[in-house]
Amino acid sequence: MPLYTVSSRAPIPDTTKRLMAKLIMDVHCGITGAPQTFVNVIFSEAVPLKRGIAYDVLMGVRKGRTGQMNNELHNTLFKEIVKLLDTSPQMVEMSMIEVPASWIMEGLHILPEPGEEDKCEWLKEGHG
Amino acid sequence: MKNKMRMLCLMQENGHSDQEIKQLERAANKLYKKHFGEKYSLLPVWVVVPRGQAFLAAQPSTTTTVTMPVENHIENDVRHPFMYEFCQMWMDITQCHQNEIILNVTDRKVAEEFAKKTVGRINPTTRFYHVGKQLTKLVKSKVLNGYYSMNFNFDR
């Protein structure tokens, strides 16, 4: 977590997928301070999305951040993804689901609450 | 049906053999019953993510992400021992590294919200047809391979 699921009607070129995975990681970590090794991005193609929508991004993130931070994350990512895909904002849909960190296990550890990553010894020892 | 919990496994293409998958399903079901009660059973669904479509820290990922619901408001002192034992079991069977298994054990209502959003992205006018097509693929894979499986891309 976070788990970003990017659905598209048409295939996204491999280079763009790589750039998008990096973009999402950079924006997510830049705004939230989350470790890069937490950021999962998966692409689902040939999805019969709603009429007029070419891309759908579902953001699964840890619960516990402020509404302001979540809004900033959503809005910044939206803007950057539209730019990267060189598409119209009307063709991109983006939504967020928050999941408590204590419901997620990675590297045999329960994830820390957002903002408490510094207290995690196992993260310092190298996760990912 | 209420006690049948859907276990969604997002795995990389060729991530696990048929034999491993069946072994994982049996072990997962056993563990779930042990921790949450005999009345429950898991309905595992394997979603194959094609090569080049999954990234962790912006690098190609070899991780499997497993998501399953539990009853709402299960305490963490019940949830966490299950999660730990589940990941250990997964590593024992697949011989994967501990960073290659991600487990989400969510309250039922959050799992339902995820499912709703996933289906909700599909065009409502053709949703019935497309969801039906995906379900047919699942049944076909169960008959052919012995487990429910589908591709993350709708055209495969």
Q: Please enumerate in sequence order all residues whose Cβ is within 8 A of that of B75, keeping only pairs 6 or more positions apart, or say none.
A: none
A40 interfaces chain B, CB cutoff of 8 Å? yes
Cα B141 to the chain's mean position, in Å? 15
Tokens of B61: 């990922």
CATH architecture of B4-151: 2-Layer Sandwich (3.30)
CA-nearest of B78, B93, B83, B85 to B24 is B93
- A12 to chain B: nearest residue by CA? B53
Provide the residue range defining the domain that includes A38.
3-124
| Sheet-wide strand order for A92-99 | A92-99, A55-62, A3-8, A40-44, B54-56, B59-60
Where do the domains of chain B lie? 4-151
Distance CA B6, CA B128 (A): 20
pLDDT value, residue A119 = 81
Prediction pTM value? 0.93
Contact check, Cβ <8 Å, A102/B84: no
Chain A residues 46-105 with CB within 8 Å of chain B: 46-51, 53, 56, 58, 60, 93, 95, 97, 99, 102-105
Q: Which residues contact A64 (CB under 8 A, 6 or more apart)?
A: A98, A100, A101, A113, A114, A115
Mutate to test the interface with B, among A26, A40, A84, A94 (most CBs of B within 10 A): A40
CATH number for position A94: 3.30.429.10
Predicted ipTM?
0.94
Q: What tens digit of pLDDT does each residue of A61-106 get? A: 999 999 999 999 999 999 999 999 999 999 999 999 999 999 999 9
Q: How many CB pairs under 8 A join A and B?
A: 126
The count of domains in chain A is: 1
B62-72: average pLDDT: 96
Beta-carbon contacts of residue A66 (< 8 Å; ≥ 6 apart)? none
Closest of A81, A68, A63 to residue A23, by C-alpha: A81
Residue of A nearest to B54 (CA): A42
pLDDT classification of A117: cutoffs 50, 70, 90? confident
